[in-house]
Copies of this chain bind each other. A is one copy, B any other.
Amino acid sequence: MASNTMYSNPPCAACKFLRRKCLTGCIFAPYFPPEEPTKFANVHKIFGSSNVSKLLNEILPHQREDAVNSLAYEADARLKDPVYGCVGAISVLQRQVVHLQRELDAVNADLMRYSKGKNYGRGGSSLDTNTGICVAYNPYQWINNPASDNAGIGGDGGR
């Protein structure tokens, strides 16, 4: 007697980890192949499989691969740095942007002096001199202090 239910063999990394049957149409299977067990284990440890499954079901199928990869990236970063996770990378990059923009402004100023008022100077992003944030690119305005020594994220932790 043939069964109407089809199983993946071998099961995907998620179903193997969760010790359940990997049914055809499993939401995890295309993104968590059996040969990458750590990818699911990390995502599960940080976000929980139920939250990941919910998120994948709320977005379009063609977006799911990118979503899983970004979750895996965040999970890996949080396991490496439990305090800042990938927000630490954002802070480093923001400081780098501020540093490069200042360098660029300085070199442009030097070039201006060399060219003696010939209106020479390259464009680029504009640095907000009040905040030190490169306003044209800053994706989250509330990362408001990239020049400080900590992660530069907002909020006072309620203390």
- A interface vs B, CB < 8 Å? 30-33, 36, 39, 45-48, 50-51, 55, 58-59, 63-74, 77-78, 82-90, 92-94, 96-97, 99-101, 103-104, 106-108, 110-111, 114-115, 120, 122, 124-125, 134, 137, 139-140, 142-143, 150-151, 153-155, 157-159
Of the candidates B45, B63, B97, B154, the one whose C-beta lies within 8 Å of that of A69 is: B154
Closest chain B CB from A38 CB (angstroms): 11
Each complex incorporates copies of this chain amounting to: 2
Closest chain B CB from A91 CB (angstroms): 9
What is the bound-complex CA distance between A26 and B130, given in angstroms? 39
Residues of B within 8 A of A70 (CB): 83-85, 87-88, 151, 153
Residues of B within 8 A of A115 (CB): 114
CB <8 Å contact, A151 and B93: no
CB <8 Å contact, B90 and A89: yes
Given contacts A66-B83, A73-B143, 7 further A-B contacts (CB under 8 A): A30-B159, A67-B82, A70-B87, A73-B155, A74-B86, A86-B90, A90-B93
Residues of B within 8 A of A134 (CB): 96
CB <8 Å contact, A93 and B137: yes
Residue with the highest number of chain B CB atoms closer than 10 Å, among A73, A82, A143: A73
Residues of B within 8 A of A66 (CB): 83-84, 150-151, 153, 157
Q: Can you report 20 residue pairs joining A to B where beta carbons are below 8 Å apart?
A: A32-B158, A47-B48, A66-B84, A69-B155, A69-B157, A70-B87, A70-B151, A72-B155, A73-B153, A74-B85, A77-B140, A86-B86, A86-B140, A89-B140, A92-B139, A93-B97, A93-B137, A96-B97, A100-B125, A103-B122
